[in-house]
Chains A and B, each alone.
Chain A
Amino acid sequence: MIDWLRNIQYDEWRALLDVVLIASVVTVACALPGTFLVLRKMALMSDAISHSVLFGIVIAFVVMTQIGMGDALGSPLLIIGAAAAGLLTVALTELIITTRRLKEDAAIGLVFPFLFSIAVIIISRQFKNVHIDADAVLLGSLEYSALDSMQFFGLTLRPKALYIMSGILALNVILIALFYKELKIVSFDAGLAATLGFSPALVHYGLMTMVSVTCVGAFDAVGSILVVALMIAPPATAYLLTDRLSRMLLLSAAAGLLAAWTGIPLAFFFDFSYAGSIATMSGVIFLHALMMAPDRGLLAQWAVRRAQRFEFPAQMLAVHLFHHEGRPDQEAESSLRHLREHFKFGEDRVRQVVSHALRKGYIQREHDRLRLTNLGRETARSVMIRT
């Protein structure tokens, strides 16, 4: 392993560093608008938009070739075209929904395959020799995007994707900071927002523009599937961990970074696809949060349910003991054997309930008699008052 590590050339380390940097910027840039998509139950719009981007790129490319703008691939106009296609998807979907002939899910599922089909047909008919690789559309190619450069006022910037995505990230951060209040109120209570004079439609299209631009920028580097993974999985992970929007934004950025920083080394050493590896890690991180999250995690829920199964009978046990405390039948009523008959529990159940009550400190055990503690008496009293 170590020998093998030594054999990696300096250039390879440099390329790997670029990949890590690009992936880090992409994950954060995606996680921020993604948070609002998840909160607004529109996560699948990212799926639709990331596919329609291809349509925008192809149309913009055709137009630019027609008017003779030469080598159009890589031009910023393609990005504008692609972002416009993202918005077109949103608008068409909403147009179908407002006719009330189809539901939202069906509308999404109809629009983007249609646009995507047009794009694929144009590609295969017009650009047999232009490199718009079909696999690269879905899967992206981080490894190549790290090598791409661009000219900017005479400066050679490399890797290009890093600079473009940094710009998009900065844009997202600024927009969210400026319109934080608006985004927050529209996400949580669109009705209230409208009443207070915020325009939900304006915020909606603003957010969708942000998502489209981010998809376009990230699409080039990481492909449409990783865009979807990074827009949904890290925010969903954060959603399990916090109730505050500001923390959710930070946590989803952190979850995205973690996915990138764990996925890339795995991909590098085992020769996986970078995008696939990062997407997989974002899923693993989500799964971990799903199981382990305090309060909302499956294990925590399971523990609560388990505890509740014994808490009620344990409280009833305390009430029973309290009722007979200081009476002549106290001795008889507090024996373990009698409890079995009184509560009509099986032997296991009695043992579990008693041990739960012991653990909670409601009772103490003296041979085969049970005695209430002070806490037990209080519990019994409060339970009885509540009823």
Chain B
Amino acid sequence: MNIGQILHDLLFDYTLRTVALGAGSLGLIAGALGSFALLRKQSLLGDAMSHAALPGICLVFMLTLSKDPLLLLVAGGGLAGWIGALLVMLIVRRTRIKQDSAQGIVLSVFFGFGTVLLTVIKNMPSGNKAGLNKFLWGSASTLIASDVTKIATIGVVALLIIALFWKQFKLLSFDPDFAHCSGIPVRVMDVLLTTLIVLSIVIGLQTVGVVLMSAMLIAPAASARQWTDRMGRMVFLAAAFGAFSGVAGAIHSSQVDDLPTGPTIVIYVSVIVMVSLLFAPNRGLLWAWVRDYRHRRSMRAETVLVNLARLEDPLHEHGHDVRVLGAFGRLPANSVMEQLARQGWAVRVNSHRWALTPEGVSRAAELMQPSRG
């Protein structure tokens, strides 16, 4: 299918437009909020809270029998997720059990209790759990226009709150102690920020499901972190990465048979993470490897230069057999000698003999001086 057709469908095909918009706005919100979660080392909060939401969703369903996803997710899931977050905090603060175990317990036990409630619902005379299952696995294709409107509304409110408390959230993420000293109500801001994150998690459940939600929260932020050191740019980039993955995943899965939307979106964000880790300027691993390689090479060349200079009378015409340098340690490779020649520090006299140029001698003298640092 060509690009023009895809663009046409994106604008005029109801299902594709709805799914792409929904997944895109979810990616945008999760990306923006995920930046704070990543910086606060709460990356796995997404995983824990998305599992913890299940019993809340079931309980609200049992009480109201409503199938409105927003009510179930935000009221039930949000509340259960919140209780889970508080429990984790209580356990970590009051006992020697660490964050990881506390999160693991809340995640698995809440989810286990949720599955118990699911079996109860299945046995209820009026129960029909078919609708609830999509919260486990996410099914972006069942999104309808009104869902998207609600997701977008929640998103806009969340972004407005971020903009409003930008300074506070930023300080809280980097240096909570300093934030506290500066008179920022840290507790309140903490609660507000965690609430927003939980909110973005529960609305994501419907699109990508329990297991993959943690990737939606962290991956865009982890990618954005590689490209910049500035918080503002990071949040913006993360939102852009998230939105792009959402839309691209939705389009891609609509073009290929039997390609589930949620996992496709996660593959897209994961690829963005890999590209960012490898190629981002400054922090990119590829550049780090290149820098490393260059550095090692110039170190090696300089060592050879200094050793050559240490041989007596380095300027005399016939030069020195570099194989003698084996006595100082490693025998210099040809490439090292050629690099010295390129830099104008040494000249080849004949096959194994090399002599230093005047520039080479002065550079070696520089290197041999005890460093004044």
Q: Which residues of A contact B (CB under 8 A)?
A: 38, 41-44, 46-47, 51, 96, 99, 101-103, 105-106, 108-110, 113-114, 116-118, 120-121, 124-125, 128, 134-135, 138-139, 225-226, 228-229, 231-233, 235-236, 239-240, 267, 270-273, 275-280, 282-283, 286, 290, 296, 298, 301
Residues 254-286 of B contacting A (Cβ, < 8 Å): 257-260, 262-264, 266-267, 270, 273, 277, 283, 285
State in angstroms the CA–CA spacing of A247 and B192 once bound together. Answer: 42
B98 within 8 A of A: yes
A114 touches B226 (CB 8 A): no
A125 touches B258 (CB 8 A): yes
CB distance from B31 to the nearest CB of A (A): 14
B259 touches A124 (CB 8 A): yes
**Partner-binding segment picked from B115-123, B157-165, B318-326:** B115-123
Q: In the complex, which residues of chain A have a beta carbon less than 8 angstroms from the beta carbon of B17?
A: none
B212 within 8 A of A: yes
B267 touches A118 (CB 8 A): yes
* A-B contact sample (5 more), CB < 8 A, given A117-B267, A125-B257, A273-B115: A43-B100, A106-B222, A117-B212, A232-B108, A280-B112
**What are the 9 closest A-B residue pairs judged by CB atoms, nearest first?**
A279-B112, A283-B109, A276-B115, A113-B215, A229-B108, A117-B263, A232-B104, A228-B108, A276-B116
Residue of B with least CB distance to A284: B109
CB distance from A315 to the nearest CB of B (A): 26
B104 touches A225 (CB 8 A): no
Task: Indicate whether A225 sits within 8 Å of B112 (C-beta atoms), given known contacts A51-B211, A114-B270.
Answer: yes
Partner among B94, B107, B123, B277 whose Cβ is within 8 Å of the Cβ of A271:
B123
B41 within 8 A of A: yes
B347 within 8 A of A: no
Q: Which residues of B contact A (CB under 8 A)?
A: 38, 41-44, 46-47, 51, 91, 94-105, 107-116, 118-120, 123, 133, 136-137, 210-212, 214-215, 217-219, 222, 225-226, 257-260, 262-264, 266-267, 270, 273, 277, 283, 285
CB distance from B109 to the nearest CB of A (A): 3
A47 touches B47 (CB 8 A): yes
State in angstroms the CA–CA spacing of A228 and B48 once bound together. Answer: 12
State in angstroms the CA–CA spacing of A105 and B42 once bound together. Answer: 7
Q: In the complex, which residues of chain B have a beta carbon less than 8 angstroms from the beta carbon of A106?
A: 38, 43, 218, 222
Q: In the complex, which residues of chain A have a beta carbon less than 8 angstroms from the beta carbon of B51?
A: 225
A279 touches B111 (CB 8 A): yes
Q: In the complex, which residues of chain B have a beta carbon less than 8 angstroms from the beta carbon of A298?
A: 94
A-B contact pairs, 20 of them (CB 8 A): A42-B100, A44-B44, A44-B104, A101-B285, A105-B42, A110-B218, A113-B214, A114-B270, A116-B212, A117-B212, A138-B136, A225-B111, A232-B105, A232-B108, A236-B102, A239-B97, A270-B120, A271-B123, A278-B112, A280-B112
State in angstroms the CA–CA spacing of A270 and B225 once bound together. Answer: 49
CB distance from B43 to the nearest CB of A (A): 4
B101 touches A103 (CB 8 A): no
Task: Indicate whether A114 sits within 8 Å of B109 (C-beta atoms), given known contacts A38-B101, A236-B101, A272-B119.
Answer: no
B115 touches A114 (CB 8 A): no
State in angstroms the CA–CA spacing of A5 and B96 once bound together. Answer: 44
Q: In the complex, which residues of chain A have a beta carbon less than 8 angstroms from the beta carbon of B107?
A: 47, 228
Task: Indicate whether A139 sits within 8 Å of B115 (C-beta atoms), given known contacts A47-B47, A290-B91.
Answer: yes
CB distance from A209 to the nearest CB of B (A): 20
State in angstroms the CA–CA spacing of A282 and B106 once bound together. Answer: 11
B109 touches A229 (CB 8 A): yes
A113 touches B258 (CB 8 A): no
Main SS class of interface, A:
helix
A280 touches B211 (CB 8 A): no
State in angstroms the CA–CA spacing of A228 and B112 once bound together. Answer: 10
Q: In the complex, which residues of chain A have a beta carbon less than 8 angstroms from the beta carbon of B100?
A: 41-44
Q: In the complex, which residues of chain A have a beta carbon less than 8 angstroms from the beta carbon of B96?
A: 239, 296
State in angstroms the CA–CA spacing of A240 and B105 once bound together. Answer: 14
B109 touches A44 (CB 8 A): no
Q: In the complex, which residues of chain A have a beta carbon less than 8 angstroms from the beta carbon of B109?
A: 229, 233, 279-280, 282-283, 286
Indicate the member of A106, A114, A118, A236 with the most B CB atoms within 10 Å: A106
Q: In the complex, which residues of chain B have a beta carbon less than 8 angstroms from the beta carbon of A46?
A: 104
A109 touches B214 (CB 8 A): yes
A276 touches B104 (CB 8 A): no
Q: In the complex, which residues of chain B have a beta carbon less than 8 angstroms from the beta carbon of A101?
A: 225-226, 277, 283, 285
A47 touches B104 (CB 8 A): yes
B277 touches A121 (CB 8 A): no
Q: In the complex, which residues of chain B have a beta carbon less than 8 angstroms from the beta carbon of A43?
A: 98, 100-101, 103-104
A118 touches B46 (CB 8 A): no
State in angstroms the CA–CA spacing of A270 and B116 once bound together. Answer: 10
A114 touches B215 (CB 8 A): yes
A240 touches B112 (CB 8 A): no
A114 touches B267 (CB 8 A): yes
State in angstroms the CA–CA spacing of A42 and B44 once bound together. Answer: 12
Residue of A with least CB distance to B100: A43
